[in-house]
Homo-oligomer: A and B are copies of this chain.
Amino acid sequence: MKLNSTRVLALVIILTLMTITSNVLAKDGAWTIGPRMLPPSVDVSDEFREILLNTPTPNTEAAKSNIPETTEQWEAMISAADEQTAAAARKMAKALSVKVKHDTISGVNIYRVTPPKIAPEHKNHLFFHVHGGAYILNGGEAGTFEAVLIASHLKIPVISIDYRMPPKHPAPAAMEDVLAVWKVLLNERSAALIAMGGTSGGAGLTMSSVQRFQELGLALPQALLLGTPGADAAKVGDTRYINEGIDTGLVMWDGVIEEAMKMYATNYDLTDPYVSPVYGNFEGFPPSYLISGTRDLMLSDTVRVHRKLRRAGVDADLHVYEGQSHADYLKFMNVPESSEHFAELNAFLLKHLSKPLATTSALQNEVLKNIAVPESAAY
């Protein structure tokens, strides 16, 4: 049987490698991990299993060889990717009747993303969304992809920020934009009514921004979404190695992601909390919701942030999904695991966002406004 001979061959390779490396300690303590077979995950939804069954082994060679070299090449790669994502975001918004309207706040581009109906329990709430994309992708309407899903699933109004990015604008441009918008949002409503966050680089930028808000003595958002956060701009973290060639989305750190981080960091050391917020302060952080998967290259980023939060005494909920790669809850947004994520996120936000007395009164007043009250009822 063909499969068996493949397996026997794999075994022979493993045995040979084991004999050669023979468990001697490498100078830097690094381990040599042999090849292996990874079957499609079993205990997942039928829909997600079907996807895994039809996904070939992630191609590390292609990932490594496809790195732009000049600024023009970067910009071409970025705009090609963003065009596709923007088209998908537009289609999705239309299908879900979510309104996406461009606007500016303090000169920063933003999108107002509004579901067809706001849930009564989210009346007065706002989700301040920070898109991901390794700090280079998802500029313009492409950045609204996750925002549309949040608005639709949670029935909450969203403002999604289109912050400046490399190659033209390395850090701190992105955070300056977030800060400028945040100051205006704080004038419009209580921070206790605002959730903030995003996925990957969006979660990373959220964390460094919140750390900056703290330094400036600004009010903080009431709750955070830290979706498989880009917490470390350097190649640090077990799963950056363990899940190389296993994560179907990112595939591997070396290559485009690594170079994107360097472009973003330009003016900063890779360990500076400004670009690697995992090394920043987490004391007094808002309650945070974290999500990752067993095949996620950034699982270590996620659990490292979770522990930093917990050590600082922050209410932080960690969710790890079997079989999921980096941000699969966005990529495969129509499988049950994705809906489950948004349901969990909503439950978390509803637990932590303030429910101002005004909400109830406003609703009541609406209902009661046409009922005449006889004079005697007030005695």
Chain A interface (Cβ < 8 Å from any Cβ of B):
2-3, 6, 10, 13-15, 17-18, 21-43, 52-62, 65-66, 68, 72-73, 76, 232, 236-239, 241-246, 278, 294-295, 299-300, 303-304, 306-307, 310-311, 317-323, 340, 344
Q: In angstroms, how far is the closest chain B Cβ from the Cβ of A276?
A: 10
B30 touches A38 (CB 8 A): yes
B241 touches A37 (CB 8 A): yes
Q: In angstroms, how far is the closest chain B Cβ from the Cβ of A263?
A: 18
A33 touches B246 (CB 8 A): yes
Contact of A14 among B29, B58, B62, B307 (CB under 8 A): B62
**Bound complex: CA A24 to CA B6 (Å):** 13
**Bound complex: CA A25 to CA B304 (Å):** 34
| Residues in B neighbouring A246, C-beta threshold 8 A | 31, 33, 242
Contact of A318 among B52, B57, B320 (CB under 8 A): B320
Contact of A238 among B6, B38, B56 (CB under 8 A): B38
Q: In angstroms, how far is the closest chain B Cβ from the Cβ of A365?
A: 34
**Bound complex: CA A13 to CA B62 (Å):** 7
| Residues in B neighbouring A241, C-beta threshold 8 A | 36-39
A31 touches B21 (CB 8 A): no
Known contacts A18-B61, A54-B29; is A36 also within 8 Å of B319 by CB? Answer: no
Closest B residue to A28 by beta carbon equals: B39
Closest B residue to A37 by beta carbon equals: B30
A60 touches B38 (CB 8 A): no
| Residues in B neighbouring A245, C-beta threshold 8 A | 33-34, 36
Identical chains bound together, number = 2
A238 touches B34 (CB 8 A): no
Chosen A-B contacts, 29 in total, with CB atoms closer than 8 Å, are: A3-B28, A3-B72, A10-B62, A10-B65, A13-B61, A17-B35, A17-B59, A17-B61, A17-B62, A18-B56, A18-B61, A21-B59, A24-B56, A30-B40, A32-B57, A33-B37, A35-B35, A36-B245, A37-B241, A39-B241, A42-B236, A43-B237, A43-B304, A239-B294, A242-B246, A242-B294, A242-B295, A294-B303, A318-B320
A57 touches B73 (CB 8 A): no
A60 touches B14 (CB 8 A): yes
B319 touches A319 (CB 8 A): no
| Residues in B neighbouring A24, C-beta threshold 8 A | 56
B340 touches A321 (CB 8 A): no
Q: In angstroms, how far is the closest chain B Cβ from the Cβ of A41?
A: 6
Q: In angstroms, how far is the closest chain B Cβ from the Cβ of A83?
A: 14
User: 7 new A-B pairs (CB below 8 Å) besides A30-B37, A33-B38, A34-B245?
Assistant: A13-B62, A17-B59, A31-B38, A31-B246, A36-B241, A36-B242, A37-B241
Q: In angstroms, how far is the closest chain B Cβ from the Cβ of A373?
A: 42
Q: In angstroms, how far is the closest chain B Cβ from the Cβ of A181?
A: 31
| Residues in B neighbouring A239, C-beta threshold 8 A | 294
| Residues in B neighbouring A59, C-beta threshold 8 A | 14, 17-18, 21, 23
B56 touches A23 (CB 8 A): yes
| Residues in B neighbouring A27, C-beta threshold 8 A | 2-3
Contact of A323 among B33, B76, B238, B244 (CB under 8 A): B238
A29 touches B17 (CB 8 A): no
A320 touches B294 (CB 8 A): no
The 4 closest A-B pairs by CB, nearest first: A31-B57, A29-B53, A303-B320, A238-B294
